[in-house]
Amino acid sequence: MFMSSTSYRIHQSTHNNKYNYECQTCYRKFKTSSSLVRHNRLHKPEKLEEIKKKYGCEFCGKQFLGSYALNRHINTHTGVKPFICNFDGCGKAFPEKYILEMHIKGHNGELLYRCHFEGCQEAFKSRSQYKIHKETHPTQDIIIEAFEII
């Protein structure tokens, strides 16, 4: 039961594969505006130390905004892979749901990674394809790895 139609609409958006909200600092995309707002806290230096102390991964030190995200991330270290691809006999398993969702998009032929180097319009199904492509750009022009997960 939801308290308002807005709450219900926000909840419904978590069930689709549309990532309409983009971080202007790191270009990561989110399904809901509240997820983006929560993520943006990571880019504020005054909040970062507080978050590190509260939700830091004991294995790698990566910080999270809550215990759910931290526990989900820990799967990447422990080898637990609860998200399984049901695409026509694939059966590949993943530690996080968003990785499975990206994998399934690859099965569907969707382009997930778009190059952001000036003047380049290339897009790719996988990060590894993008990494091969980025070698075609002059290294002196590379300041940061510039790609977008579409």
Residue 136 lies in a domain: yes
**Residues of the chain with pLDDT > 90: what percent?**
10
Give the tens place of pLDDT for each residue, 110-136.
Answer: 877 788 787 888 888 777 888 888 888
Query: By C-alpha distance, which of 24, 25, 27 is closest to 114?
Result: 27
Tokens of 17: 């594969």
Please answer whether residues 114 and 147 qualify as being in contact, where contact means their C-beta atoms are separated by less than 8 angstroms.
yes
Residue 150: HSE in the Cβ half-sphere, 13 Å Cα cutoff: 19
Residue 70 lies in a domain: no
Residue 119 lies in a domain: yes
Euclidean distance between CA atoms 67 and 92, whole angstroms: 26
Whole-model pTM: value is 0.47
Residue 57 lies in a domain: no
Residues with Cβ within 8 Å of residue 140, at least 6 apart in sequence: none
Please state, as a whole number, how many other Cβ atoms lie within 10 Å of the Cβ of residue 147: 21
Highest-confidence range of 49-63, 74-88, 106-120, by mean pLDDT? 74-88
Query: By C-alpha distance, which of 28, 59, 63 is closest to 42?
Result: 63
Euclidean distance between CA atoms 57 and 25, whole angstroms: 22
Residue 44 lies in a domain: no
Residue 90 lies in a domain: no
Euclidean distance between CA atoms 81 and 79, whole angstroms: 6
Highest-confidence range of 41-50, 56-65, 72-81, 137-146, by mean pLDDT? 72-81
Range of the domain at 138: 111-150
Would you give the DSSP letter of residue 148?
Answer: E
Backbone φ and ψ of 6, nearest 5°: -65, -45
The tally of domains found in the chain comes to 1
Residue 73 lies in a domain: no
Residue 81 lies in a domain: no
